[in-house]
Every structure is written in structure tokens, then in C-alpha cells.
Amino acid sequence: MITATQIRKGMVLNLNGVLYRVQEANYVNPGNWKGMVQTRLRNLSDQSVQDYRFRSEDRVEQAYLEEVEMEFLYQAGGEYVFMNRETFDQVGFPAEVLGDGVHYLVPNIVFTAEFHQGRPIGIRPPLSVELKVVQTEPFLKGATQSASNKPAVLETGLQVSVPQFIKEGDIIRVDTRENTYIERAKS
């Protein structure tokens, strides 16, 4: 059990036997009232989202998750197949379990899979992933050289903002926490 003030984004909470992933958590101290934690929670069984307010002295149960490194292999129908790197067992994850991680699914990338009582509940991609740019506007010679960016579509369908010098076919490094461009990858 943890106090409500220890709730952080990404945690999984067990509220009355139902698992929720914390999407947002903000501590609020309105004047001379007692502090509270306002959260946005995603129900892991039906994927619904709800806002919930905890008093700062409330105690909540943080769910125990087993974390396993798994390598993405392929997509088959509506399932994404991962392989446990230690036992070589293959596990299929439905798209709703993957969430935003689906934007980083290229073969042989290692993710951290989260299981609760043997049931897969989510994946966490590595902090950065290298992806190929498949569509972007061409560089305009003579255009302003200030820090202007342009949209680019990556091989997984993710759209990010990139600097003007990036062209189609380049491989870039993307921050998976913020879905933002980091740098052009070394060839």
C-alpha cells in the first residue's frame, strides 16, 4: 500500500480488484483545504478512461507486475507476437494491450512486457527507437535556416516533427516517452 501522494504516471493500481494504469497524476493543494491527487486512470480490462480524485492521506494498492524482456517478432491478424528472450516462449498480445507501443513495433526490438497473475497487461518500449522516414516534404533550398520543423511519417505510421534536413529514407532516433525526434541515426 502506498499513499496517494506517491502515485506516478505509468503505475498500475488495484482499486477494488480492478487494475488501472495511471495516465496522469497531479498533486493539488487548493488554498487552506487539504491536498489531493487528481488522476486520469485507464481500466486495463475494458480500456475505459476515468478521472479520479484521491485525498492526500488515502492509501491505495499498487499492483505487483512481473516484468519480462520480450522481442517483437511479427503481427498475425489482430495479435502481435512477442518472444520471451529467456525461455523462447511466444506470446500474442492484442492491440488494446499495446496502447501507444504499437507505433514502435518493428521486428527484433526488445520491449518490457508486464504481466499480472500470468495475464499480459501492457508493454513498455525502450527509451528510444530507430525508425525509417517514409514520407516527408523535400528540403527547400534557400528557405529560412531557423529552427523550423516539418512533419514526417515513419515506417510504423507514427508522425513526428523533424528538422528541415531530414529526407525520405533517413533513419532517425525517436524518444518513445514523448513521441519526439531526437537525432538522425548513424548509418
- For the full predicted model, state whether its pTM sits above 0.85: no
Asked which of 62, 81, 104 is the last residue of a domain, the reply is 62
Which sign, positive or negative, has the C-alpha torsion 9, 13, 16, 19?
Answer: positive
One domain, residues 50 and 80: no
Q: Are 53 and 35 in contact (CB under 8 A)?
A: no
Residue 178 is predicted with a pLDDT of: 82
For residue 14, the domain's CATH number is: 2.30.30.30
pLDDT digits (tens, 9 = 90+) for 150-161: 888 888 888 888
Cell, residue 107: 521486428
pLDDT digits (tens, 9 = 90+) for 46-74: 778 889 888 888 888 888 888 888 888 88
Average pLDDT, the chain: 83
One domain, residues 100 and 81: yes
Residue 147 is predicted with a pLDDT of: 62
The alpha carbon torsion through 9, 13, 18, 19 (nearest 10 deg) reads 50
For the chain, the domain total comes to 3
One domain, residues 112 and 156: no
- Let me know if 45 is exposed, middle or buried by CB neighbors in 10 A (0-12, 13-18, 19+): exposed
One domain, residues 74 and 119: yes
Please tell me the distance from the alpha carbon of residue 24 to that of residue 132, in angstroms, as a whole number.
30
Residue 2 is predicted with a pLDDT of: 85
pLDDT band of residue 43 (cuts 50, 70, 90) is confident
Cell, residue 140: 527547400
Over range 159-182, report the average pLDDT: 86
For residue 152, the domain's CATH number is: 2.40.50.140
Domain span including residue 89: 66-124
| H/E stretch holding 98 | helix 95-98
pLDDT digits (tens, 9 = 90+) for 174-186: 888 788 888 888 7
Residue 67 is predicted with a pLDDT of: 87
Residue 146 is predicted with a pLDDT of: 58
One domain, residues 7 and 58: yes
Tell whether the model's pLDDT for residue 45 goes beyond 80. no
Q: What are phi and psi of 32, to 5 degrees?
A: -95, 15
pLDDT digits (tens, 9 = 90+) for 100-155: 778 888 888 888 888 888 787 878 888 888 888 888 887 666 555 556 788 888 88
